[in-house]
Structure 1
Amino acid sequence: MIISFGLSAALTRAATAVLRATAPGGREPWRRENYAGRSVELYAGPAAALATAVGVARIRPAAGVAVAVAGVCGAYDDFAGAGDPRRGFRAHLSALRDGQITSGAVKLLGISAAGLLAGALMKERAVDKVLAGVVIAGAAHAVNLVDVRPGRAAGAALALGLPGLLRKGPGAEMAATAMGAAGAVLPDDLAERAMIGDAGAHALGAALGAAVVAGSGRAGLVAHAAAVVAAAVHGERVSALAGGGTGEGAATS
């Protein structure tokens, strides 16, 4: 677990440094204003997603793919969805029904499909496959829901990963991997120099969901699936009442 944590943290730091030095597409797309109007950078999010996906894939390839897809879909929403006022599942699904494919809809459908595929490959029985998919995709969304202030998503990933460390085996290693990436980005996130955006939040959440799947039986899957569904329903209600986003800044939706 210590090795998984350390490798993930080191890769996150290295990837952040590379992205900051190269700034693909120019520096302006990598800047956002956070909730307080301060300018922050987005490099940490894709870096954390990359490190987490690589680390998880080393343990469970199917789970690594789900984490990678969550990160890519989140990154797409970070950049393509910047400035889109629509928030919540209902708004994006309504737009999709009207023939508009929003970045939020791409994120929702892509992460859900990847979670279900990973769950199908990680579990044997049909019911467990579905529950596992719900847990992975739901956990990805749940971590993103708390990304409303600096450090909350990364801090939540660290807190949620702790119980997973008590288990032995692949679940503990995946939890440690997510925690390593979260720990690497937390100082800059708390200092309001960076935000992890949807790319980082969704990837960290998917990894934690995969860790739960790897270490849980039917009862555990049911409990965690119920928890992430409840979080999604609550988040949808809060978003509707607020009339706005659930993210720390324009990068999150």
Structure 2
Amino acid sequence: MSAGRSGFGGRVAGMLAAGVATSCVRRGLRRRPPGEAALWERTNFEGSVVDLYAGPAVALGSAAAVALTPGVSGRVRAATVLAVLSAGGCGAYDDMAGRGDPRRGFRAHLGALRQGEITSGAVKLLGIGAAGLVAGALLKRDAVDRVLAGVVVAGTAHLVNLVDVRPGRAAGAVLVLGAPGLLKRGGAGMLAAAPVGAVAAVLEDDLGRRTMLGDTGAHALGAALGAVMAAGNGRTGLALHAAALIAVAACGDRVSRAAGAR
């Protein structure tokens, strides 16, 4: 599908579908939260209590929109849905099981793993990495391209989570990274509508300090964007994206400590 009139209409429809699905899931979670309501509350950097409902809402909303995206092959849809739900699921596990754990960043969790302790953060890192590789195998045919695509999917998921240190930071990153994807021709441009529409549905409340994406939402949206990048690039583009993401991950611990935990 071209980026012409019909393509533009498809992208708008995709954003609306993701936004509506996200809003419906969030309303449902607020009415009947799984478990105790306190599990879904966090204290932000200002000391205010906010909810975590936006995270699973954007994960499920964007996955639903991707599943219904026209003009995209079944393999690409399956890869993107798998990446979104797996990254969101791993993030949700860390949100719940890792509540109160002061350790942050790759080094802290992998260091604990070397000492024989399996932290929720380590489970998240390894789980998202594995999901990225599976998604990459679905998105590409060549072995090298599959590995690069997996790095892009997992790396983008971690990138969005890395910048989630203040209200609106992760959401803004999704919009900035997703906007160029909307201009791509073919399926990649259609897929980009899902994370953009999903995050737009919660942006006002995120900026208003009423909700936060948490690891669930940040990783899910990042994985969606990574799948868009992987689907829309050849080997050179994949290699450049992968190199940039690895460089960001290498200095991620230092950035996180400087910015402070949200």
TM range (shorter): over 0.9
Q: In the alignment, which residue of structure 2 is the partner of 1:30?
A: 40
Q: Which moved more, 1:55-64 or 1:90-99?
A: 55-64
3-state DSSP class of the match of 1:32? strand
3-state DSSP class of the match of 1:85? coil
Contact 1:146 1:246 survives alignment (8 Å): no
Q: CA separation in 1, counterparts of 2:117 and 2:68?
A: 37
Which segments of 5 or more consecutive residues in structure 2 lack a partner in the other structure? 1-10, 70-76
Offset of 1:54 from its aligned partner?
2.2
| Per-residue deviation, residues 67-95 of structure 1 (Å, max 9, x unmatched) | 10000000111111010011111111111
Contact 1:66 1:115 survives alignment (8 Å): yes
Is 1:221 the counterpart of 2:231? The answer is no
Q: CA separation in 1, counterparts of 2:192 and 2:246?
A: 21
Contact 1:145 1:247 survives alignment (8 Å): no
Q: In the alignment, which residue of structure 2 is the partner of 1:64?
A: 81
Offset of 1:247 from its aligned partner?
4.1
Q: CA separation in 2, counterparts of 1:62 and 1:208?
A: 12
Is 1:2 the counterpart of 2:12? The answer is yes
Q: CA separation in 1, counterparts of 2:190 and 2:215?
A: 23
Q: CA separation in 2, counterparts of 1:177 and 1:246?
A: 29
Q: What amino acid is aligned across from residue 164 of structure 2 in structure 1?
A: D
Q: What amino acid is aligned across from residue 204 of structure 1 in structure 2?
A: L
3-state DSSP class of the match of 1:18? helix
Is 1:123 the counterpart of 2:134? The answer is no
Offset of 1:181 from its aligned partner?
0.7
Q: CA separation in 2, counterparts of 1:4 and 1:101?
A: 39
Q: CA separation in 1, counterparts of 2:189 and 2:58?
A: 18
Contact 2:88 2:219 survives alignment (8 Å): yes
Offset of 1:169 from its aligned partner?
1.5
Q: CA separation in 1, counterparts of 2:39 and 2:210?
A: 15
Is 1:112 the counterpart of 2:122? The answer is no
Q: In the alignment, which residue of structure 1 is the partner of 2:108?
A: 91
TM-score, L = length of structure 2:
0.90
Match for residue 176 of structure 2 among 156, 159, 166: 159
Q: What amino acid is aligned across from residue 50 of structure 2 in structure 1?
A: V
Offset of 1:16 from its aligned partner?
0.3
Is 1:15 the counterpart of 2:25? The answer is yes
Q: Which runs of 4+ in 1 moved over 3 A?
A: none
Q: Percent of counterpart pairs with the same letter?
A: 60
Aligned 1:231-242 pairs, distance under 5 A? 231-239=248-256, 242=258
Q: CA separation in 2, counterparts of 1:68 and 1:27?
A: 22
3-state DSSP class of the match of 1:40? strand
3-state DSSP class of the match of 1:96? helix
Q: What amino acid is aligned across from residue 199 of structure 1 in structure 2?
A: T
Is 1:49 the counterpart of 2:66? The answer is no
Q: CA separation in 1, counterparts of 2:260 and 2:78?
A: 31
Q: In the alignment, which residue of structure 2 is the partner of 1:136?
A: 153
Q: CA separation in 2, counterparts of 1:58 and 1:97?
A: 42
| Per-residue deviation, residues 98-157 of structure 1 (Å, max 9, x unmatched) | 221111011000000000010011101111000000000000000001101001101110
Aligned 1:199-214 pairs, distance under 5 A? 199-214=216-231
Q: What amino acid is aligned across from residue 78 of structure 1 in structure 2?
A: D
Offset of 1:41 from its aligned partner?
0.5
Contact 2:21 2:64 survives alignment (8 Å): no
Which segments of 5 or more consecutive residues in structure 1 lack a partner in the other structure? 249-253
Q: CA separation in 1, counterparts of 2:236 and 2:65?
A: 27
- Equivalent pairs, count: 245
Q: In the alignment, which residue of structure 2 is the partner of 1:188?
A: 205
Aligned 1:171-186 pairs, distance under 5 A? 171-186=188-203
